[in-house]
Amino acid sequence: MKDILQELQDRRDVARLGGGQRRIDSQHARGKLTARERIELLLDEDSFEEFDMFKAHRCTDFGMENQKPAGDGVVTGWGTINGRMVYVFSQDFTVFGGSLSETHAEKICKIQDMAIQNGAPIIGINDSGGARIQEGVASLAGYAEVFQRNIMASGVVPQISLIMGPCAGGAVYSPAMTDFIFMVKDTSYMFVTGPDVVKTVTNEVVTAEELGGASTHTKKSSVADGAFENDVEALAEVRRLVDFLPLNNREKPPVRPFFDEPGRVEESLDTLIPENPNTPYDMKELIHKVADEGDFYEIQEDYAKNIITGFIRLEGQTVGVVANQPMILAGCLDIDSSRKAARFVRFCDCFEIPILTLVDVPGFLPGTSQEYGGVIKHGAKLLFAYGEATVPKVTVITRKAYGGAYDVMASKHLRGDFNYAWPTAEIAVMGAKGATEIIHRADLGDADKIAAHTKDYEDRFANPFVAAEKGFIDEVIQPRSTRRRVSRAFASLRNKKLENPWKKHDNIPL
Ligand code: HXC
């Protein structure tokens, strides 16, 4: 008996060493943690339960039958984050470069199936050289099995990807189908074809970092939702994110203890809006002042900064925030900001997270690059996402809400539950100057007349009261009491029930 117990221990010790000490040292030398160290930091202490520690590949080509490391390059299992269950897989770069074999894929699929069945998030830590070259099509089949499960899990359980090393070729499509992708600066990259292929096909010379590093994907492509300095920070931030999310689409997000008075009055908000309507101000100030303890978890902070997306809590409950940012491009909607916000709104709606929309939008960005880029379809994504969302929706218009963008930004007409405006709100088809120049074109040569018409238009429309008279604004509120009003609004909507007509699925403009 003692021998058997000892054998188990010995086998475990060997399995835990993955590709061996030399390769572990090399992983550390690059500033990267090992697959198991990452799991330890991600999960609560001693909460990890491993599956398939001894699973080995079945390949017999290229001498592979002589190298059968236990676990086959991926560590899988489940554990808890602040006491709440999550499934996890972590690719082990020290074993065949973390490459994906048929059996490696089977291990991932097993935890994906369990996560869907048992209703808990899946966190994937990617650090892999891609398809296991020795296995050929068996490896490709394995990828597709993982992809299929990513699709089935979408909208059922939150899926989070951490990219902590290479992620190239078709391998990128598994993270791409998850809800959030986070990268580590300087040590991770993602691309469909690497620098060598790019050079051969297009003659472009580009480094792996330029082509698919964290900066590229958080600032240019928007593939990634955030980038962190190192593995430790990335894992800590994912723990923080998980705290905002429900375990699955049938549960509400967790309610956390809060130490912030829901009725807290912020007098400084009364002067947030500058005198001059063209002067920007920082919308993040409003978000922080509304949120419990000022805590805001921003998603896609470095991309399309003219719109802000992220999570706060109100009375301890998660709320998704979408807010125009007047500091960037005057807060207009364009292709990038519409896509960014649409995806965020759809995530919130999948997982029963109420949405707070803060509006200061002068309209859609004009120009050929926008039209050629399909701003019509991309803008429609946001409109569609808001219109189909059945979660509680509370909107506050702080200043401009012009034109189609007024409609898009969770207006009453898109089933907004509470639509508030500050007294500084201007709800109109367009700004007074532009409007005057169109409807009083004949007076364009006469500056005095145009000034008078502009003033007239401003008096008529540069306020929230016309919309309030029509019931499109439920109430004009004091800026200082925004937190109280919004918290009470969401509290009143906790039992909201709204269903869309039966359909197989919708056909959102893509
Ligand atoms: C098998 C692999 C491997 C792979 C790396 N290794 N990638 N083994 N299949 N795909 C092994 C190496 O042989 C080496 O083994 C160890 O992992 C570490 O690799 P190194 O090359 O020494 O590391 P490094 O210099 O850091 O380079 C990492 C790398 C490089 C950039 C990932 O290994 C590489 O380019 N690998 C091939 C990538 C690739 O072309 N993959 C297929 C892509 S196509 P030892 O024993 O020396 O430690 C694809 C299709 C998916 O993925 C399709 C899905 C639909």
Residue-wise pLDDT for 123-159, tens only, equals 999 999 999 999 999 999 999 999 999 999 999 999 9
- pLDDT score of 431: 82
Q: Report the separation in Å between the CA atom of 100 and the middle of ligand 1, taken as the mean of its atom positions.
A: 10
Residue 1: pLDDT above 80?
Answer: no
Tokens of 247: 């375990």
Protein residue whose Cα sits closest to atom 25 of ligand 1: 97
Pocket test for ligand 1, best of 28, 99, 150, 207 (most atoms within 8 A of CB): 99
Protein residue whose Cα sits closest to atom 22 of ligand 1: 97
- pLDDT score of 459: 86
Residue of 336, 314, 315, 316 whose CA lies nearest to 325:
336
Residue 267: pLDDT above 80?
Answer: yes
Q: Which atom of ligand 1 approaches the CA of 166 most closely?
A: 32
CB 183 within 8 A of CB 218: yes
Tokens of 196: 């060598």
Residue 17: pLDDT above 80?
Answer: yes
State the pairing for strand pair 426-428/475-476.
unpaired
For residue range 372-402, what is the model confidence (pLDDT) as tens digits?
A: 999 999 999 999 999 999 999 999 999 999 9
List, chain by chain if needed, residues with CB within 6 Å of any ligand 1 atom: 23, 96-97, 99, 129-133, 140, 143, 166, 168-171
- HSE, side-chain direction, 13 A CA sphere, residue 144: 5
Residue 311: pLDDT above 80?
Answer: yes
Distances (CA, A) of 306 to 154, 284, 320, 330, 351: 27, 11, 17, 7, 25
Mean pLDDT of 59-86: 95
> pTM for the whole thing?
0.96
Give the torsion sign (CA, 293, 298, 302, 304).
negative
Residue with tokens 């009055």: 265
- pLDDT score of 11: 96
Residue with tokens 């339960």: 49
